[in-house]
Amino acid sequence: MISFQPTEEQQMIMDTVRSFALEQMREQGHEAEESRTLSTSLLASAKELGLIPANIPEQYGGFGEGHSALTGTLFAEELGYGDLSAALHILSPASVATPLVAFGTEEQKQTYLPKFAEDSFFASAALVEPTWNFDPAELKTTAQKTENGYVISGQKSHVITDGEGEQLFLLYARDEETGTTQAFLVERTAEGVTVGERERGMGLGALRYHTVTFDEVEVPAAAKLGGDGGVDVTKLLNYARVGTAALATGLAKASYEYAQEYAKNREAFGKPVAQFQSIAFMLAEMRIAVESMRLLTWEAAWKLDQNEDATQAAVLAKQYADEYVLQVADRAVQILGGHGYIREYPVERWLREARVFGAVEGLAMV
């Protein structure tokens, strides 16, 4: 049976992350968007939370017993509740750490997992390709087997970076030998890796993300995640779908609660606008959507932790979240009226950010 009550440890993590999300992420969200920069103090505080090492076993430099998608879902929602740009940056290393814990060889785990506790280390996934027909199962980026390892060529978009420091990419490519999508550990400093100019979109102004070109990048055979056997990419995509749905739930919850509070305090014709039937109905539907998003996400995460086939549940959670986070954010703007269109009010930013969920695959992983 699925339990709807977090454990004592999970509740403590949720309370801690929610406090951080409100007091720091939410407070700095507007300034970060306008300056297109996440403050170093915010990122340092996020590092102190230890969210990534908490999912890494002690023998590999972490302080957790093991990885839990459900626990990751709980704190991902709280991060999305604070600020999406900051949340994606904070969770980016998990998109590499989680696959390493789940599928890495002993050598790969010993080499890379301890680095996630280092302040100067950053990691991110390179999955999405800048093509109109992008399909994770039919990637254009290729990995050609050679006597010494692999030669990788292709281009990836929406790759999150952390300035110029040490960075590890988990690059997804079509293994030409097996004809399947596999993952490869590639250092940013490898010859043939070119990080393009920082991209700009309609949202996520504070997040650094780029198009990265891999031009005949040579990597050893040991760089293939999971060794010769490779990885179950479908399961990794499910982790990403669940993580993305959790972030969307957090953003939708923030939009709903902000609109609800505004409607309670904003008066028209002598009474709070929340008492008008049209506004009350919108708020009720927004609440239903948030709760539905959360339950679908929890179910998919629970199935992942039980080693069940979670593909259907993960796809349903993400598809529902993609649609309804946009609807909830749009209605928040509608409830605020003219104020909802002003940049000083966060719902304007949240509506722009909500659009990214249906446009980009594999935003985050838990």
Q: How confident is residue 119, by pLDDT bands cut at 50, 70 and 90?
A: confident
Domain layout of the chain by residue ranges: 8-117, 121-229, 233-358
pLDDT at 311 over 90: yes
Q: Please spell the DSSP secondary structure of 125-193, one letter per residue.
A: EE---SSTT--TTS-S-EEEE-SSEEEEEEEEEEEE--TTSEEEEEEEEEETTTTEEEEEEEETTSTTE
List the one residue out of 317, 321, 200 whose CA is nearest residue 251.
321
Query: How far is residue 2's CA from residue 303's CA, in Å, rounded to a whole number?
Result: 9
Helix, strand, coil percentages for the chain (3-state, nearest 5): 55, 20, 25
For residue 329, pLDDT over 90 is answered with: yes
Is the pLDDT reported for residue 181 higher than 60? yes
Work out the burial of residue 135: count CB atoms within 10 Å of its CB; fewer than 13 is exposed, 13-18 middle, 19 or more buried: exposed
What CATH architecture is 8-117? Orthogonal Bundle (1.10)
Q: What is the pLDDT of residues 206-218, one digit of tens each?
A: 999 999 999 999 9
Give the model's pLDDT for residue 160: 96
Structure tokens at 102: 């789940």
Tokens of 327: 């609807």
Contact of 182 with 175, CB cutoff 8 Å: yes
Q: Minimal CA–CA distance to 326: which of 363, 349, 348, 353?
A: 353
- Contact in structure between 141 and 152 (CB atoms under 8 Å): yes
**Is the CATH number of domain 233-358 1.20.140.10?**
yes
If 0-12 CB within 10 Å is exposed, 13-18 middle and 19+ buried, where does residue 244 land?
A: buried
pLDDT in tens, 7-42: 898 999 999 999 999 999 999 999 999 999 999 999
Q: Which residue has the tokens 């399961």?
A: 235
Class of the CATH domain delimited by 121-229: mainly beta
Show the tokens assigned to 320: 């529902």
pLDDT at 94: 95
Condensed to tens digits (0 to 9), the pLDDT of residues 27-86 reads 999 999 999 999 999 999 999 999 999 889 999 998 877 789 999 999 999 999 999 999
Q: What is the pLDDT of residue 66?
A: 74
CA 286, CA 252: separation in Å to the nearest integer? 8
138-174 pLDDT, tens digit per residue, is 999 999 999 999 999 999 999 999 977 789 999 999 9
Q: Cα dihedral sign for 161, 207, 88, 322?
A: negative
Mean pLDDT score, 283-304: 97
